[in-house]
């Protein structure tokens, strides 16, 4: 078999050369990866809301999405709810949650939208940071409604919170945008603090 010169190693056709029978020899195995950072937004200043848009453009390359949030809320109230709209609306949204506040009993509850948005968490810390990992499986399917799974935590000293929650967007339409805001009765100017971080990841399949 005619040998293949690997010029990157040999540097010269006249000097010492290593002969291989394949151009693949000596190279690292190509291992396609599956978990990708798509977008990230670390707020340079306070902001009323954060929105991921054009999510449908990821559907051809990714099967699942994940959103990671580490955020604080503005304002002075101890309770600031994390709210979302999907495709710029609160229509067709529903949620459930199982969690605890560190005292008393655990709870299991359901919620529907009000104030033009859906509450997906009761606690965005006003004096620190709350964290959320949101998984959206098979987000690009037009045969299914979209279901978000959330694992969240807040260690506000007066109102701590840990929960696993879920949100239903009961629509088979393409998921295009998700907006996050803060407010007790509606998304308001409370907003997120500077340095709050929102990252979007895609998982291939």
Partner 1 sequence: MATATYTALATITLSGNSSSVTFSNIPTSYRDLRVIINGKGSIDENVTYTINGSTANFSWLRISGNGSTTVTDKNTNNTIGRFGTGDTLVIVDFMDYSATNKEKLFLIRNNYVGGDVRGLAAKWGSNSAISSISFGIRLSGNYLTGTTFSLYGIAG
Partner 2 sequence: MSMQKILHAEVGSGGASSIDFTSIPQIYTDLYIKLSARERDAGDYVRFFLDINGTNSSISTLFVLGTGSAPSSSSGTNLVGHGINRYSSTAGVFGNVDIYIANYTKNANKAICVEGVEENDATAAYSSISAALWSNTTAISSISIVSPGNIAQYSSATLYGITAGSDGITTVS
User: How far from the centroid of its chain's Cα atoms is residue 132's Cα?
Assistant: 8
Per CB under 8 A, contacts with partner 1 among 45-74 are: 61, 68, 70, 72
Position 63 contacts partner 2 (CB under 8 A): yes
User: Contact letters (x/-) for partner 1, 154-183, by CB under 8 A?
Assistant: xx-x--xxxxx-------------------
| Spatial CB neighbours of 57, under 8 Å, sequence gap ≥ 6 | none
Q: Which stretch binds partner 1 (CB under 8 A): 17-25, 46-54, 78-86, 94-102?
A: 94-102
Task: For residue 144, give the nearest of 59, 81, 202, 53 by alpha carbon.
Answer: 59
Neighbouring C-beta atoms of residue 178, cutoff 10 Å? 26
Position 62 contacts partner 2 (CB under 8 A): no
Contact 198, 49 (CB under 8 A): no
User: How far from the centroid of its chain's Cα atoms is residue 115's Cα?
Assistant: 23
Can you tell me which of 12, 14, 60, 143 binds partner 2, judged by CB under 8 A? Answer: 143
Q: How many residues bind partner 2 (CB under 8 A)?
A: 39
Q: Which is nearer to partner 1, 169 or 192 (CB)?
A: 192
Position 68 contacts partner 2 (CB under 8 A): no
Contact 168, 94 (CB under 8 A): yes
Beta strands in the chain (DSSP E): 4-5, 19-20, 35-42, 49-52, 64-71, 82-86, 93-100, 107-111, 118-121, 130-136, 146-154, 161-169, 178-182, 197-203
- Partner that binds at residue 153, options partner 2, partner 1, none, CB closer than 5 to 8 Å by kind: partner 1
Per CB under 8 A, contacts with partner 2 among 87-126 are: 94, 96-98, 105-110
Q: Which stretch binds partner 1 (CB under 8 A): 19-27, 85-93, 126-134, 184-192?
A: 126-134
Q: Which stretch binds partner 2 (CB under 8 A): 20-28, 32-40, 68-76, 78-86?
A: 32-40
DSSP class of 92? T
> 116 is written with which tokens?
């033009």
Task: Point out which residues bind partner 2 (CB under 8 A).
Answer: 31-35, 63-64, 94, 96-98, 105-110, 135-138, 141, 143-145, 147-149, 151, 164-168, 170, 172, 203-205
């Amino acid at each position: 078999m005619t040998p293949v010169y690997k010029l990157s190693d040999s540097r010269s056709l006249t000097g010492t050369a290593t002969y291989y029978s394949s151009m693949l020899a000596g190279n690292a195995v190509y291992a396609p990866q599956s978990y990708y950072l798509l977008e990230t937004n670390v707020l340079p200043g306070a902001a009323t809301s954060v929105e991921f848009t054009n999510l449908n453009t990821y559907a051809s390359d990714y099967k699942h999405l994940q959103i990671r949030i580490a955020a604080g809320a503005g304002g002075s109230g101890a309770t600031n709810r994390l709210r979302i709209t999907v495709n710029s609306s609160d229509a067709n949204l529903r949620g459930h949650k199982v969690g605890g506040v560190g005292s008393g009993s655990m709870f299991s509850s359901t919620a529907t939208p009000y104030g033009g948005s859906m509450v997906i968490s009761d606690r965005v810390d006003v004096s620190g940071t709350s964290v959320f990992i949101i998984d959206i499986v098979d987000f690009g399917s037009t045969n299914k409604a979209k279901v978000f799974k959330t694992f969240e935590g807040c260690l506000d000293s007066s109102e701590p919170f840990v929960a696993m929650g879920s949100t239903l967007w009961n629509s088979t339409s393409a998921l295009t945008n998700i907006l996050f805001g803060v407010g007790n009765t509606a998304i308001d100017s409370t907003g997120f603090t500077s340095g709050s971080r929102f990252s979007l990841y895609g998982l291939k399949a």
